[in-house]
């Protein structure tokens, strides 16, 4: 294959969750730019329509799917509908996620469960349902968005760190089971990326300085810094990469 063919997604359909903003929005645009038809999933209809319109304005193919990833019935029905219509996704990007920050003594079980449902149960259900179509076609790419919190811990982020460690385990289990069917499963572990989910940290002068000092490249990451990692894991170029955790963190974890 030529370099262009190795990263060509023409003829593929990708489902990206949490695609109305932040990392998910950038990832959807990246896959569309590479030739895939992208289904953008999130809860906000207006934000989804805006994100999809931005892709089509650049000549890409995109359509919104209003979906609460924590609603198992809705997820199962949506994936079944896509399969029945011949639009079963070849690529699944499990990006939707939330974080809850609080000291352990002040944390609440209901908040813990909400993080687990969004960050772990939802990706499991989506992978299970998407894999049905992928296995039938003999091809698929599942990319879970983990975090450097899949590799170490962080104070006041107990549920988040726990779910990201679990996503690493889920990714490896999916890789082991689905690999023989032509379906690979990998995860991206972003470092500190500027998104809406961490505005409070970005505006904390002490924390901002800490990130810049502790990251060898000296800055926060941007959503665009994850684009090539995602494209690689979704494209023919990564055909022999399975069960891998790809860290994109500017070197943060290699020094701490």
Tell me the per-residue pLDDT of 151-190, one tens digit each, with 9 for 90 and over: 999 899 999 999 999 999 999 999 999 999 999 999 999 9
Q: What is the mean pLDDT of residues 191-208?
A: 89
- Alpha-carbon distance of 160 to 183, in angstroms, equals 27
pLDDT at 86: 94
Q: Are 224 and 26 in contact (CB under 8 A)?
A: yes
Place of tokens 């599942």: 142
Residues 6+ apart with CB under 8 A from 104: 156, 158
pLDDT at 198: 84
pLDDT(1) > 90: no
Place of tokens 């999916």: 174
Q: What is the mean pLDDT of residues 63-90?
A: 97
Q: Residue 214: inside a domain, yes or no?
A: no
What are the residue numbers of the active site? 160
pLDDT(197) > 80: no
pLDDT at 200: 83
- Residue with the larger pLDDT of the pair 195 and 71: 71
Residues 6+ apart with CB under 8 A from 191: 148, 215, 221, 247, 248, 249, 250, 252, 253
**Structural domain boundaries enclosing 51:** 3-194+224-247
Q: Residue 202: inside a domain, yes or no?
A: no
CATH at residue 49: 3.40.50.720
Model pLDDT for residues 19-64, shown as the tens digit of each residue: 999 999 999 999 999 999 999 999 999 999 999 999 999 999 999 9
Closest CA relative to residue 78, chosen from 41, 49, 53? 41
Q: Residue 37: inside a domain, yes or no?
A: yes
Q: Residue 212: inside a domain, yes or no?
A: no
Q: Residue 203: inside a domain, yes or no?
A: no
The angle subtended at Cα 153 by Cα 148 and Cα 157, nearest 5°, is 95
Name the domain count of the chain: 1
Q: Are 53 and 46 in contact (CB under 8 A)?
A: no
Please compute, for residue 168, the number of CA atoms within 13 A of its CA located in the half-sphere on the CB side.
17
Q: Residue 234: inside a domain, yes or no?
A: yes
pLDDT at 172: 98
User: Model confidence at 240, in pLDDT bands (50, 70, 90)?
Assistant: very high
Q: What is the mean pLDDT of residues 78-95?
A: 97
Q: Residue 19: inside a domain, yes or no?
A: yes
Tokens, residue 92: 């699944």
Helix (H) or strand (E) holding 187: strand 183-190
Q: Residue 207: inside a domain, yes or no?
A: no
């Amino acid at each position: 294959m030529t370099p262009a063919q190795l990263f060509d997604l023409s003829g593929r359909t990708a489902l990206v969750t949490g695609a109305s903003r932040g990392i998910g929005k950038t990832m959807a645009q990246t896959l569309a730019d590479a030739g895939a038809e992208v289904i953008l999933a999130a809860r906000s209809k207006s934000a989804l329509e805006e994100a999809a319109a931005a892709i089509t304005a650049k000549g890409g193919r995109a359509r919104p799917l209003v979906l609460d990833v924590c609603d198992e019935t809705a997820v199962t029905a949506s994936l079944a509908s896509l399969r029945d219509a011949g639009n079963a996704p070849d690529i699944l990007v499990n990006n939707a996620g939330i974080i809850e920050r609080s000291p352990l003594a002040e944390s609440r079980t209901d908040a813990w469960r909400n993080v687990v449902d969004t960050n772990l149960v939802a990706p499991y259900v989506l992978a299970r349902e998407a894999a049905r179509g992928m296995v039938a076609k003999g091809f698929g790419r599942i990319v879970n968005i983990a975090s450097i919190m899949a590799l170490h811990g962080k104070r006041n982020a107990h549920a988040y760190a726990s779910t990201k460690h679990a996503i690493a385990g889920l990714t490896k289990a999916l890789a082991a089971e689905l690999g023989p069917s032509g379906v690979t499963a990998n995860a991206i572990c972003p470092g500190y990326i500027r998104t809406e989910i961490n505005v409070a940290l970005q505006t904390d002068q002490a924390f901002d300085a800490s990130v810049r000092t502790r990251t060898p490249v000296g800055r926060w990451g941007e959503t665009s810094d994850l684009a090539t990692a995602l494209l690689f894991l979704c494209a023919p170029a990564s055909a022999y990469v399975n069960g891998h955790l790809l860290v994109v963190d500017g070197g943060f974890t290699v020094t701490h």
